[in-house]
Structure 1
Amino acid sequence: MGRLQIRLSEHRRGHVDKDPALTVDGSGRFWVAWHGYRPKEDRILVRSFEDQRRGPLLTVSEEAGINFQPRIVCGGDAVWVVWCAVREGRWCVLARSADEMGEVVRLAEADASLAFPDVTSDNEGRIWVAWTALVGKWRRVFGRCLDGNRWSEVVDLSQGGGDHYRPVLCGHAGGAWVAYQTLQNGACDLFLRKWTPDGVGRPEKFSLTDDWELFPRLCPDGSDGVWATWTVTRDVIHPKGFVDHKVEAMASHFDGRSWTPYRGPDRTMAEGYVAHLYDGLLGREHYMGFVGWRRRPQIVRETDGDVWVLYERKEDELVNRHGPDALFYARPLTGRNQGRSCEVDGEVHAYTVNGDLPVVDERLSFAAQISEGRYYADICAGSLPLDQAQSVEERPVSAWRSWRPIRLSEPPVFDQRPEIEVGGKTYKLYWGDLHCHGNLSGDAEGEIDENYAYGRYKARLDFMAVTDNDALYDNILTPSELELILAEADHFNDPGRFVAVPAYERTYRKESESGPNHRIMLFPDGEMPLYHFTESDADTLEKWVAAMERTRAFTFPHHPTWWVIPSSRLGGVELCSCWDIYIQMRDTIPEALRQGYRLAFMGNSDSHRIVPGMGGALTGVWAEALTREALFEALWARRCFATNGARVMLDVRVNGMPMGSEVRVAGQVHLICMVQASRMVQEVALFRDGEQVQEQWVGKKQAVLKFEDEPDSGEHFYYLEVRLKPLRRVPMGGRCGNLQVAQGDFAWSSPIWVKR
């Protein structure tokens, strides 16, 4: 018997269903809960089914609005749904019995973010719930237990400093196992604790390397212990100069006393190694977007005791680069065929399994988002045969031997932070990346917190923004997800040390028009209204511009081509990114300047690969302080410049006025450029009105250059292009998808407008 599947959601235009969770009740009936977006609001939906017969579609959330991250569990005779929400302006963790549709229970509420819930049950019918909460400057893990009709008091499940994220639960005879990841001082480790009605055991660290270890999942071992799987992400560099990650699935067994890392038949691999996840994540030739759970292995146990790790592999890095193109693989950790992968399914759905549910008669229960054409669509559930019938041979790790380990962060370029003085004020140079994507976009991987942590600790950025798309391919950014973006930006914002900016991207594109016309929207505070280009209130550029006029947003276009209309919220333009160097490709940017638009020059990675700050583009900002307020003041003043990854100090002035200024002159234009880099500056070119008019050879790392020009009367704009001596690297040989050299060879000053 092959696949058994039933569609549970009701597909309608403008609706998006995502994030399904699955359980089975005592009678064998399946229950699935998911996050349903309806225009301008989120709901939690649930539906049961048995023998291909669907129950009624139920709305578990008692009010529409902010509702997300549903989890579902059966304990005793009851089915409970737990989710995160906002009620009366406060964050909540809510619970409700789905089979009885009883009253909604508030398990927790706070002014600060509550997120990432999980649930399980034990063999005595108790229900265990865990979530994360912001307490002061750190995230901690808390939980409650339902025993009969009584909920316990809140228990602190995490221990020690740092941010504790994404608890996962697994039931055992007397309670629950809880695992979570901890980010502290730039390191990311995993911990397990035993939780019973009598209390919480000591943390057991089970990460195995010095690299980041993330996304644990658990399943029972059938005795007193637990199996865990997770990912390790190792930073690597390619001879072409790209920086990326090698991602691998890991596993280990805890018997209640100590951990035993999994060892497969290939003893050349490290302890804990299960399978590499390089295909489609780490390119060999050309690669682009990455949807699905590709970096999140899952784990299940058969009733006969064999344990399996499940994971996705991209079908082909050269084909169907966006959309659902992942194959569902499995590899047994125990039994006679351990270490051999098989293809569980080729329908390229986005699968979710429940590690608490045993695999009975080799049938794997699942919930999933259905793939239709290029996109994910509705929610389905069912079962698949879990056997060795479709054994596969995967590419060996040697296929990616060109990628070499790199230790991040790298040493700073300057011994001290550069400073300049303008008009009696002192400005310092800060580096940032204000266009980065995570897995709330339709074609990217990476959590919001993971992106911010990488930018701060590995790329040594001073400021950054995670800018997921409003609507891209199959995915729509929901109001609840926007709240999470804002909450994580506020959490990581650390004035004086690191600035995180709330943001998202407008992804406007119509088939009848040539190319995309996207915008990044940066917000200085929590006032961040959500508009989708797919909905009637912002489906034209004119409507969207009118909506932005009511905000304090700083917006800027990107890509090689785009078009603009007058707007007081239009402040800059992206010159380069992970995709390419736009200012060297088209005349779009100079033409907009010639039309009179005043735009700050910015470099931002547009990374879909979780490499903010290492994706081939940076913005250097001269600001009075490292705060959101000072950053936005500098951007609006255009006191900033773009590079394609190299940290170059660039100070350009006309008559003493800095880049971004508007200056009147009577005769010649006198321009002074101070430049400093970690390698030789070959030459600096002067551009007037978008055309190169002068060039000076430099031949050293640091220089002060003077340019003189006598243009015609009228208004003109000037900017400089700095050209560094290229690093020794393998030639790119053409465009390579969403990845450029981490440290490029160019920098561009923001224009100075001169009226003569």
Structure 2
Amino acid sequence: MDRRTLALALPLLAACGGNSADQDSATSEGSTAGAADEQRAQLVDWLGFEPPQTAKLDVLYTLWEDQRTPRSPADGAGSARFVGPAPEAEVGRPARFELDYTAGPLGVAEGGAIYLQAPPFWGWSTPQAAEPAAPGYTTFECDAQDLRFEARAIDTQLLVAVVRGRDLAPGEVVHIVYGAGPAGVRVDRYGERDTRLWLAVDGDGDGVRALVDDAELAFDVAPGPASRLLLHLPATAHPGETITATLAVVDGTGSDRVEFEGAIEVEGLPGDEAPRRFEFGASDSASRRIEVVLPEAISTLRLVARVLDEAGEVLTETESNPCRVSPAKRVLFCDLQGHSGLSDGTGTPDDYYTYARYVGGLDAVALTDHDRWGLEPLETTPELWDTILAASQAHDEPGRFLALTGFEWTSWLFGHRHVVHLGAARPLLSAFDRDYDTPPELWAALDGTDSLSIPHTLAGGPVAVDWSAKPPLEIEPVVELVSVHGSSDTPADPRRIYSPVDGHWFEDVLGRGYRYGIIGSGDGHDGHPGMAHLSAPCGGLAGILSEDLTRAGLLEALRARRCYGTSGARIVLRTSLASQPMGAQMSAADVGPEPQLLIEVFGTAPLERIEIVDETGIVVAVDGAKELELRALVPIPPPAAGGLLRVRVLQTDRHMAWSSPYYFD
């Protein structure tokens, strides 16, 4: 296994000029312009081409430097174990971690170092040795009197302890306590299984380190107390059929596996004159699936669920999303991008797929961990990729739930894309592999397959997409317009993406003549697919119009652009123009001299307005009148050849939905 560390998660001091651990490491802010120019020149020489203006060259250089830096046999040697059983940790409660590091056969040279890395993404206390009363206080001790350790925090969640006095001899044991002070350690914001602490060792003191390969430092983080209630319905259904409502109790940030004992009543179930009561025992799962038989004469179903105390008083309540009941083509709610603890997310692949179906109530989900971003990159750790494939196979049930595989092509040159496999699972193609490090090379590798490339974070953070290469729409038919990072539609969006770059908004992409469709997806890192918006300012979902809940059905709908995106809210949106659904390509003459656009919206909050947008901007605005539902036949200006038409929905809670455009020849 290649245990090389990944920049930002565990940055190499060697990437800052070969400084050893007892020297001050350079930071990007302190780098001189000359050093940046030299790094750029080295990258251009390695790449063989000039990078685009939007490239994040500092990140790419650190990754490249990490890859090409040799390791000493002493780097990463030794073993690490918890003292006693794996520690107990719980969201919102202080914890304490005791572990022993045993030096490897070459020991650790004086001036070498041991690095303690807490999980680097979700709010853990940074290990520190300066303030005993503060969170994260960490101690390093050894029985030998002539050994000491100079410890200090050098980055977020990262501490280095430099060996002083003499070499740490082979077999000597260093006792480490993370959370040694009264404040303990602040743990993950999200409950998860199989997270871990990481140790790395610079065995020869040259400033280069590697993860300790023989480390058993995995443990679980229990969720916080039960405090939220979720209730999900399918987006649409046909009259008379049986659907499944998904009811789940979670903690404050949406984590499942909470302890819950009590009663929940559900109001609005067809045929029930009074709310139906469901009892949950101490040993029961805190989620439940409820079969609902729809009558023939119903157009919309909305349910209300309430948690009751022993006296029958309401502790908390929630309303479901709307289920539109009609003979029309189904809308499937899907989250086609998210991350587990195998890269920079939370939890296991098994938990990810379980949450998507039994808590998130999704029709389909894709797990798209990064090719090279995390402490053990998928690119160099094939057994992790095998874990994802096995979890997908175990949870996949076409016709009921699709557990899709994919990966994020994490290009710091051209912007991030995720690849979703809608046929057979295929090998990972890394943006760090010189054979696939440009979009045309990625597209060529996907040509002739049932896998799609989907660009995301189009207009901003963490890196904007470079649009210089025209996409092949069979391979890249849609963009992820909105996610946990925000919306990339226009600068006026209320939940716009952070660190935006002018000229990279979706309206700019359309101006290039690229005929993309639109989806949203979470790009969630909290282990809660379909629910990224619970603990973030924005989220994302894809609404896909397909009667067929199979990979082939999703592939056909996405290539036809018969899809829309939301900021996480389960808004039902349909449009029809000259009997054609959203995403259709048609002749401008086909819509007639006095065209009308049929819009149907079923909101999760009162509707503020609906905007009809062409290539020039907003052409019609419809007042939502603070209603939950709208069905309107709206006169529109005749479209121009080469033009487009799309719909934006804005609710009073600032959640939005965006239809794929119609394109006119």
Cα offset, 1:523, TM superposition: 0.6
**Structure 2 counterpart of 1:195:** none
Query: Normalising by structure 1, what TM-score?
Result: 0.49
- Residue 709 in structure 1 maps to residue 636 in structure 2: yes
- Structure 2 SS opposite 1:592: helix
Greater relative contact order (Cα 8 A, min sep 6): structure 1 or 2?
A: 2
Instruction: Tell me the SS of whatever aligns to 2:634.
Output: strand
| 2:242 aligned with 1:452 | no
* Closer/same/farther in 2, CA of residues 377 and 625 from structure 1, 3 Å limit: farther
Corresponding residue number in structure 2 for 1:34: none
Q: Per the alignment, do residues 546 and 10 of structure 1 end up closer, same or farther by CA in structure 2, a change over 3 Å counting?
A: closer
Q: Deviations over 1:171-215 (max 9, x none)?
A: xxxxxxxxxxxxxxxxxxxxxxxxxxxxxxxxxxxxxxxxxxxxx
Does the Cα contact within 8 Å between 1:323 and 1:374 map onto a contact in 2? no
Q: 1:689 Cα shift?
A: 1.5
Secondary structure, aligned partner of 2:351: helix
The residue aligned with 1:579 is: 485
Change in 2 beyond 3 A, CA 1:411/1:630: closer
User: Is the CA contact 2:582–2:662 (under 8 Å) kept in the aligned structure 1?
Assistant: yes
- 1:383 shift after superposition: 3.6
What amino acid maps onto 1:671 in structure 2? Answer: L
Q: Is the 8 A contact 1:427 1:622 kept in 2?
A: yes
8 Å CA contact retained: 2:481, 2:487: yes
Structure 2 counterparts to residues 128-147 of structure 1, below 5 A:
none
Structure 1 residues 645 and 686: alpha-carbon distance in aligned structure 2, compared to 1, 3 A threshold: same
Amino acid in structure 1 at the alignment position of 2:228: R
Partner in structure 2 of residue 103 of structure 1: none
Q: Does 1:524 align with 2:422?
A: yes
Matched, 1:566 2:471: yes
User: How far off is 1:344 after superposition?
Assistant: 3.3
Q: Secondary structure at the residue paired with 2:415?
A: coil
Q: What SS does the aligned partner of 1:497 have?
A: coil
Q: Which amino acid aligns with 1:642?
A: G
* Equivalent residue for 1:533, pick from 431, 455, 461: 431
Aligned counterparts, 1:487-636, within 5 A: 487-510=390-413, 517-559=415-457, 560=459, 561-562=464-465, 563=467, 564-567=469-472, 568-585=474-491, 588-615=505-532, 616-636=539-559
SS in 1 for 2:434: coil
SS of match in other structure, 2:431: coil
In the TM superposition, residue 550 of structure 1 has moved relative to its aligned partner by: 4.5
Spell out the pairing of 1:5-84 with structure 2 (5 A cutoff): none
Q: Residue 332 of structure 2 corresponds to which residue in structure 1? A: 430
Check if 1:391 corresponds to 2:294.
no
Unaligned runs of 5+ in 1: 1-7, 18-38, 40-46, 56-71, 74-216, 221-226, 233-245, 249-274, 278-296, 302-311, 330-338, 347-358, 364-370, 511-515, 727-743
Is residue 440 of structure 1 aligned with residue 342 of structure 2? Answer: yes
Could you tell me whether the CA contact under 8 Å between 2:575 and 2:600 is conserved in 1?
yes
- SS of match in other structure, 2:346: coil
Deviation at 1:392, TM superposition (A): 4.9
C-alpha deviation, 1:326, in angstroms: 4.0
Aligned counterpart in structure 2 of residue 675 of structure 1, from 601, 608, 615: 601
Gaps of 5+ in 2: 11-63, 65-71, 102-115, 146-152, 161-169, 191-223, 236-299, 302-321, 492-501, 533-538
CA contact (8 A) 1:409 1:460 kept: no
Q: How big is each residue's C-alpha offset from its partner over 1:525-551, in whole Å with a ceiling of 9 and x where there is no partner?
A: 334122212222112233222212243
Could you tell me how far apart the structure 1 residues matched to 2:98 and 2:400 are?
A: 36
- Structure 2 vs 1, CA of residues 420 and 537 (structure 1 numbering), >3 Å: closer, same or farther? farther
1:613–1:396 distance in 2 versus 1, CA, 3 Å: closer
Offset of residue 387 of structure 1: 6.9
Distance verdict in 2 for CA 1:518–1:409, change over 3 Å:
same
> Which structure shows the bigger proportion of residues in strand conformation?
1
Q: Secondary structure at the match of 1:634?
A: helix
Match for residue 327 of structure 1?
127
Asked whether the 8 Å contact 1:684–1:698 carries over to 2, the reply is: yes
Shift of 1:661: 0.8
Partner secondary structure for residue 678 of structure 1 = coil
User: d(CA) in 1 for partners of 2:581 and 2:640?
Assistant: 21
Q: 1:133-184 CA distances to partner (integer Å, 9 max, x unpaired)?
A: xxxxxxxxxxxxxxxxxxxxxxxxxxxxxxxxxxxxxxxxxxxxxxxxxxxx
In 2: Cα distance, 1:377 partner to 1:544 partner: 38
Deviation, structure 1 residue 611: 2.1
Out of 324, 337, 351, the residue aligned to residue 418 of structure 1 is 324
Of 718, 732, 746, 2:656 maps to 746
Cα RMSD of the aligned pairs, angstroms, is 5.0
Assess if the C-alpha contact under 8 Å between 2:118 and 2:158 holds in 1: no
Q: How far 1:470 moved relative to its partner?
A: 0.9
In structure 1, the partner of 2:614 is 688
Q: How many residues are paired up?
A: 430
Aligned-pair identity in percent equals 24
- Opposite residue 721 of structure 1, the aligned amino acid is R
TM-score by length of 2: 0.55
Report the Cα distance in structure 1 between the residues aligned to 2:652 and 2:441, rounded to whole angstroms: 46
Secondary structure (helix, strand or coil) at the match of 1:546 reads: helix
- Distance in 1 between residues matched to 2:433 and 2:662, nearest whole Å: 38
What's the CA shift for 1:476?
2.4
Does the CA contact (< 8 Å) of 1:600 and 1:640 recur in 2?
A: yes
**Superposition pairs for residues 222-237 of structure 1, below 5 Å?**
229-232=87-90
Q: Does 1:407 align with 2:228?
A: yes
Deviation at 1:708, TM superposition (A): 2.3
CA positional deviation for 1:679? 2.5
Does the aligned pair in 1 maintain the 2:490–2:507 contact within 8 Å?
no
1:660 Cα offset (Å): 1.0
Letter in 2 for 1:675: V
Residue 724 in structure 1 maps to residue 524 in structure 2: no
CA contact (8 A) 1:323 1:473 kept: no
Higher helix share: 2
Verify the 8 A CA contact 1:375 1:473 in the aligned structure 2: no
- The match for 1:662 among 572, 585, 589 is 585
- CA change 1:468–1:321 in 2 (3 A) is closer
Question: What are the residue-to-residue correspondences of 1:192-231 with 2, within 5 Å?
Answer: 229-231=87-89
CA distance in 1, matches of 2:397, 2:98: 34
Question: Following the alignment from structure 1 to structure 2, what is the Cα–Cα distance between the partners of residues 53 and 501?
Answer: 35
Q: For the structure 1 residues 375 and 717, does the alpha-carbon distance in structure 2 shift closer, same or farther, using more than 3 Å as the test?
A: farther
Shift of 1:480: 2.6
